[in-house]
């Protein structure tokens, strides 16, 4: 009898203990800076829809803004972490590494709509992560959940962007710059495959075509002629597809082009100059795992150096720090 009555009490105690532990885990999670899917589901339930519509509106008038938004998130996350530092006008963004960056106004427009509905709630760093996710989906790429809860950073310095990779970087340099950001060879290959959409200015191709010692011998002859026809000597502004023949559509053809050397920028071609990265490129060609693993790498990139909890701020406008 005594035993029977103690059992429910023990079970209740165990349940209570479990609840306390779960609560503690959640609190620790927050203080450790973990993001969560649906972070704004109560504080601003329409946040993700508002961002999607802003991206859709922008793409309706200029579809090339979609790849620009994906690049923008990469440039945000690699410099000081995904903290919106790239969005501050006249600061970090002036570094030449950010040359050609576009889509900042799309983020500003989405943020302005969010401020009307839920002032002071949604960070610019999150708007950027959501916009990049939407851009991928809208170019036929995978749809995926983006953990949110980032706060905006309080600094943006022009020299901070020196850490970004260059189109002329060799595989060792690319690998070490990615490693500094906590990303491995697999992430490097998958994230570079974001070049399945978008274009590059001839500026980033010219040295491979008209270098001091001639053209890059790694470029197949037919493709070299094609690139030279697109990028005449001295033309820095004409744009060429990063994924030859498929620049508006997220697909695996970038991997085939990388393997065949049919890519305009040297950093993409460099992925096959190394056994480990070349093997990864080969393994993802035609594989259904490509889209799934790409999502994993994007989500991982989106966690670099995030600011959460009570740190940083929620900017009123994305292009300036709050004044109060």
Q: Which residues are annotated as a binding site for substrate?
A: 165
Q: How many residues of this chain bind ligand HEM (CB under 6 A)?
A: 26
SS3 317: strand
Report if residue 165 touches ligand HEM, rule: CB under 6 A: yes
Report if residue 186 touches ligand HEM, rule: CB under 6 A: no
Task: Choose the binding region for ligand HEM from 28-36, 67-75, 79-87, 106-114 (rule: CB under 6 A).
Answer: 67-75
Binding-site member from 68, 106, 113, 280 for ligand HEM (CB under 6 A):
68
Task: Choose the binding region for ligand HEM from 52-60, 68-76, 155-163, 307-315 (rule: CB under 6 A).
Answer: 68-76
Of the candidates 52, 58, 72, 75, the residue annotated as catalytic is: 75
Between 46 and 166, CB nearer to ligand HEM:
166
List Cβ<8 Å contacts ≥24 apart for 296-299.
Answer: 296/190, 297/183, 297/186, 297/187, 297/190, 297/191, 298/132, 298/133, 298/136, 298/144, 298/191, 298/194, 299/144, 299/146, 299/147
> Nearest approach, Cβ of 123 to ligand HEM (angstroms)?
20
Of all helices (H) and strands (E), which one includes residue 129? helix 124-138
Answer yes or no: are the C-beta atoms of 127 and 107 closer than 8 Å: yes
Residue with tokens 């909890």: 309
> Nearest approach, Cβ of 262 to ligand HEM (angstroms)?
16
- Residues 197/251/186/161 CA torsion (nearest 10 deg): 10
Q: State the Cα angle at 200 between 230 and 170, rounded to 5°.
A: 110
Binding-site member from 52, 95, 257, 267 for ligand HEM (CB under 6 A):
267
Report if residue 106 touches ligand HEM, rule: CB under 6 A: no
- The distance from CA 157 to its chain's CA centroid, rounded to whole angstroms, is 20
What are the residues binding ligand HEM (CB under 6 A)?
Answer: 64, 67-68, 70-71, 74, 100, 102, 165-167, 169, 174, 191-192, 194-195, 197-201, 204, 242, 265, 267
Active site residues: 75
């Amino acid at each position: 009898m005594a035993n029977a009555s103690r059992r429910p009490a023990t079970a209740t105690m165990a349940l209570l203990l479990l609840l306390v532990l779960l609560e503690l885990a959640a609190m620790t999670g927050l203080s450790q800076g973990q993001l969560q899917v649906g972070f704004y589901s109560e504080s601003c339930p329409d946040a993700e829809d508002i961002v999607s519509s802003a991206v859709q509106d922008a793409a309706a008038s200029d579809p090339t803004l979609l790849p620009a938004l994906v690049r923008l998130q990469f440039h945000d996350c690699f410099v000081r972490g995904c903290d919106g530092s790239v969005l501050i006008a006249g600061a970090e963004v002036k570094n030449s590494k950010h040359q050609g960056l576009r889509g900042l106004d799309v983020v500003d427009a989405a943020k302005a709509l969010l401020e009307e509905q839920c002032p002071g709630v949604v960070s610019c760093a999150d708007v950027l992560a959501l916009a990049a996710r939407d851009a991928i989906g809208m170019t036929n790429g995978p749809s995926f959940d983006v953990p949110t809860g980032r706060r905006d950073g309080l600094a943006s310095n022009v020299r901070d962007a020196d850490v970004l990779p260059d189109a002329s970087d060799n595989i060792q340099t690319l690998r070490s710059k990615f490693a500094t950001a906590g990303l491995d060879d697999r992430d490097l290959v998958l994230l570079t495959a974001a070049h399945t959409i978008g274009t590059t200015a001839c500026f980033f191709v010219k040295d491979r075509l008209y270098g001091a010692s001639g053209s890059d011998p790694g470029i197949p002859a037919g493709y070299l002629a094609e690139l030279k026809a697109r990028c005449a000597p001295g033309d820095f502004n004409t744009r060429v597809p990063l994924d030859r023949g498929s620049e508006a559509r997220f697909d695996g053809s970038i991997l085939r082009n990388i393997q065949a050397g049919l890519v305009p920028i040297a950093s993409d071609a460099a992925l096959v100059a190394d056994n480990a990265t070349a093997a990864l490129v080969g393994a993802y060609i035609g594989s259904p795992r490509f889209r799934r693993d790409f999502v994993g790498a994007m989500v991982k990139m989106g966690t670099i150096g995030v600011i959460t909890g009570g740190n940083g701020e929620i900017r009123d406008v994305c292009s300036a720090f709050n004044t109060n």
